[in-house]
Amino acid sequence: MRIVLLGAPGSGKGTQGEKLAAHYGIPKISTGDALRAAVAAGTDLGKKAKAAMDAGKLVANEIVIGIVEERLEQPDAKPGFILDGFPRNTAQAQVLDKLLAGHGQHPIDKAVHLAVDDEEIIHRLHDRAVKEGRHDDQPDVIRHRIEVYNEETHPLLDYYEGQGKLVTLKGVGTVEEIFQGILKIVA
Ligand code: AMP
C-alpha cells in the first residue's frame, strides 16, 4: 500500500499515519519529522531548513526531495509506505511519481485527504503549541502555515483527483473513528 496523506497542518496526518503504518506493517515517512531531527542534530541540512520551518514556509524542494528519495530506497519501504507531509506542492508530487517509476516501484495507490475547517485547525495547533511546544505552532506562524497550505498544497487535491486517486473524509471525530473511516475508504 502506497498512501499519501493530505490535509492542513493539524488535520491529523501524523496520528493517522502512525496507525496506518502499524496496520499495514510499512513505514510512515514524515518529512517534517526528518527535518526536525536534522535541526535538532545540527546537521548542514538542518541548518539550511531551520529558518524556513520557523517561519512556517516550505523548505526548498531539493532538500525534501533528497530526504524522500533516500528514504524510499531503504528496503523496508519497498513493500509500501505512508507519506505524511510530502508532497506539499505539485512539483514535489510530480517528482515523487517519477522517482517511483524510475525505481521500478508501484505508483501511489491513494491520496487520503483529511478535511478539517480552518477554525478547528487553528484551535488544534494552539493546543499543540501548549502541549508539544513546537516552534512553528505560534499564532503568526500558524496563520502563515495555513496560507501556505491553501496556496501551495491544496492544489494537490486536483493533481490526485486527476489521477483518480483522491479520497476525502472529514478529519473530525475520535482518532479511532477517523482511522476506521480511512481503512474503509482505501480498501
Ligand atoms: P510538518 O511537521 O509536516 O507540519 O512540517 C513542519 C515544517 O517542515 C513545515 O512547515 C515546512 O517548513 C517543513 N516541511 C515539511 N515537509 C515539507 C515538504 N514536503 N516541503 C517543504 N517543506 C516541508
* Ligand 1 pocket check for 56: Cβ under 6 Å: yes
- Could you report the per-residue pLDDT of 114-170, keeping only the tens digit for each? 999 999 999 999 898 888 888 788 888 999 999 999 999 999 999 999 999 999 999
Looking at domain 2-27+74-186, what is its CATH homologous superfamily?
A: P-loop containing nucleotide triphosphate hydrolases (3.40.50.300)
Query: Are the CB atoms for 1 and 108 separated by under 8 Å?
Result: no
CA distances from 155 to 7, 85, 176 (A): 11, 14, 28
Confidence (pTM): 0.95
Q: Write down how long the chain is.
A: 187
Give CA 34 to chain center in angstroms.
11
CA 31 to ligand 1 center in whole angstroms? 6
DSSP state of 11: S
- Could you report the per-residue pLDDT of 73-90, keeping only the tens digit for each? 999 999 999 999 999 999
* Ligand 1 pocket check for 38: Cβ under 6 Å: no
In one-letter notation, the amino acid at residue 142 is I
Could you tell me the residue ranges of all domains in the chain? 2-27+74-186
- Could you report the per-residue pLDDT of 2-14, keeping only the tens digit for each? 999 999 999 999 9
Q: How confident is the model at residue 103 (pLDDT cuts 50, 70, 90)?
A: confident
Please report the atom of ligand 1 found closest to the CA of residue 30: 3
Q: Residue 95: its pLDDT value, please?
A: 98
